[in-house]
Structure 1
Amino acid sequence: MDHPSNRQKTYTALEAKRKAESYCAYQERAQQEVRDKLYQWGLHKLDVENIISYLIEENFLNEERFAKAYVLGKFRMKSWGKIKITQGLKIKQVSAPLIKIALKEINPEEYFERLVSILEKKSKLIQENDSFKKRNKLYQYALGKGFENNLILEVLKDNDLEN
């Protein structure tokens, strides 16, 4: 038997609309996040799509604005590379053209400097005498952060980080 506190409260379309407004006003959201939340609140497809349309018309919901905020947030706060950011946006079902537009928000010089910076920091933490192994660990680390293969190799070659 379900415990009463485990059940999700259901809302009327009007209640959900008001709640969705504040949900979107609090921070930028992807359309799919809002859609999922509305279904979670017990709304049916027609109500969900009507509320989504309303939120877009009233500018509570803007997929491009969300994508740009996501890109800059993940890059500046978590030091993610473009590959990992793109994957995150795809998971949130942002369209490929919007992803492309949003990634242009990242300054190429700042992007390159960030990669150099995270590899320099990581290099100091890796306790490895074999320079090949150390280089490989740095390479794997940067790949995991979502940076591009060719850029990582360029930084490792030009900055002599494996020593």
Structure 2
Amino acid sequence: MDKNFSYSDCVKKLEYYCSYQERCHQEVTQKLRALPLTTLQQDEIVVHLLQHNFLNEERFAHTFAISKFHQKKWGKIRILNELKQRHLNERLIQSALKTLPVEEYHDTFEQLAERIWETTTERNAVKKFKKCCDYLLRKGWESDLVYAKVKSLSGK
């Protein structure tokens, strides 16, 4: 990184960083560490970003949850764990999970489970059951939903 950045250049750089994609505090802090700034200047920039609404963890949590659900078909458990890794507080995480549309959540799970069951080429029924369950569990879907659905698909 070029060490000739002025303080105002760093502020602009972080404003842009936060404006083209939602960010959490952890990502911003990590980015700030790469810049030639004192700890006090880093703190001032974080305050500036918060005051000017470039950085908003509630907005980040909601956007993260809904986009990972829609784009990657993640379940609530995976989303919860990913948000925890980003050091968001429990209230924000629970609020974000509540924004997921209940009916769409269940429809998505049903479609995903059926697609995985149909496209898994394993001939051994026990191995196919395990592969499908493992896939859905890795995606963060609740185990009671996973086992009940795969059991119904396998005809057991």
**Superposed structure 1 runs of 4+ greater than 6 Å apart:** none
SS state at 2:153 partner: coil
CA distance in 1, matches of 2:40, 2:103: 46
Residue 99 of structure 1 aligns with which residue? Answer: 93
Moved more, 59-68 or 148-157: 148-157
Residue 22 of structure 1 aligns with which residue? Answer: 16
Q: Which amino acid aligns with 1:136?
A: K
RMSD value, Cα: 1.4
1:37 aligned onto 2:31:
yes
CA distance in 1, matches of 2:47, 2:54: 10
1:161 aligned onto 2:153:
yes
Q: Within 5 A, what are the aligned runs for 1:66-81?
A: 66-81=60-75
SS state at 2:81 partner: helix
Following TM superposition, by how much is the alpha carbon of 1:20 offset from its aligned partner in structure 2, in angstroms? Answer: 0.8
Following TM superposition, by how much is the alpha carbon of 1:150 offset from its aligned partner in structure 2, in angstroms? Answer: 0.9
- CA contact 1:132–1:162 (8 Å) conserved in 2: no
CA distance in 2, matches of 1:148, 1:42: 44
Runs of 5+ consecutive residues of structure 1 not aligned to the other structure: 1-7
Q: TM-score, normalised by structure 1?
A: 0.88
Runs of 5+ consecutive residues of structure 2 not aligned to the other structure: none
Following TM superposition, by how much is the alpha carbon of 1:66 offset from its aligned partner in structure 2, in angstroms? Answer: 0.5
Residue 151 of structure 1 aligns with which residue? Answer: 145
How many residues align? The count is: 154
Of 3, 9, 21, the match for 2:2:
9
1:117 aligned onto 2:111:
yes
Q: Which amino acid aligns with 2:75?
A: G
1:32-65 per-residue CA deviation (whole Å, 9 max, x = no partner) reads: 1111101111222111111101111111110000
Of 90, 114, 120, the match for 1:126:
120
Following TM superposition, by how much is the alpha carbon of 1:24 offset from its aligned partner in structure 2, in angstroms? Answer: 0.8
Question: Could you tell me the percent identity over the aligned residues?
Answer: 37
Q: TM-score, normalised by structure 2?
A: 0.92
